[in-house]
């Protein structure tokens, strides 16, 4: 796409606002992350992204403890959930910003408590929404099937990024 990405974490409060839908939450956070970084880089096209796991309309964010990680994985075991990833793109110099989202359904195998505890003990789930990473060497084994974009579950839906960027910022990228 002709882009030379630079990674810069954004310090954004990721608290859930009561009554906010999961999709609205990740879109708000993706734009907030992009906006925080765009303040320092007004001439750059800035991408912010946020991902959440949703089970029965409940947001499963990043676990705050190993016990919470175990509980999340037990809840996901043998069930289908949604992963929502939103992209916020901001170019301050032109005053343009856009946000878009992708939803993918993920079905988990039935997981034993021993399997869950072994995974959690490895530390991987602690920085991931829903307490798992589909790209992890163990987390990938939990997933029986997906319906949608694999990269949405990883946290950066590349096709959505390409389509959204090409539509909203055609003058800033190489086709």
The residues that are catalytic are 50
Query: Two tokens at 130?
Result: 């829903």
Measured distance CA(134)–CA(157) in Å, rounded? 13
The residues, any chain, with a CB within 8 Å of residue 95's CB and separated by 6 or more, are none
String of b and e for 35-52 (b: at least 16 CB within 10 Å)? bbbbeeeeebbbbbbbbb
Order of strands across the sheet with 46-55?
58-60, 46-55, 80-91, 96-108, 143-147
**How far is the CA of 105 from the CAs of 99, 143, 172, in angstroms?**
21, 11, 32
DSSP string, 110-124: P--HHHHHHHHHTTG
Quick check: 101 and 59 in contact, CB under 8 A? no
Measured N-to-C along each axis, helices 113-121 and 66-76 cross at an angle, to the nearest 10 degrees, of 140
């Amino acid at each position: 796409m002709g882009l030379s990405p630079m990674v810069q974490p954004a310090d954004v409060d990721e608290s859930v606002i009561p009554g906010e839908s999961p999709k609205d939450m990740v879109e708000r956070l993706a734009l907030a992350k992009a906006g925080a970084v765009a303040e320092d880089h007004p001439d750059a096209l800035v991408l912010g992204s946020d991902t959440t796991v949703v089970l029965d309309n409940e947001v499963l964010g990043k676990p705050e403890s190993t016990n919470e990680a175990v509980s999340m994985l037990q809840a996901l075991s043998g069930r289908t959930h949604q992963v929502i990833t939103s992209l916020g793109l901001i170019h301050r110099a032109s005053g343009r910003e856009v946000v878009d989202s992708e939803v993918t359904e993920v079905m988990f195998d039935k997981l034993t408590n021993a399997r869950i505890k072994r995974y959690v003990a490895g530390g991987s789930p602690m920085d991931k929404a829903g307490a798992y990473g589909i790209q992890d060497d163990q987390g990938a084994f939990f997933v029986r099937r997906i319906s949608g974009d694999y990269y949405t579950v990883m946290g950066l839906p590349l096709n959505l990024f390409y389509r959204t960027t090409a539509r909203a910022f055609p003058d800033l990228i190489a086709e």
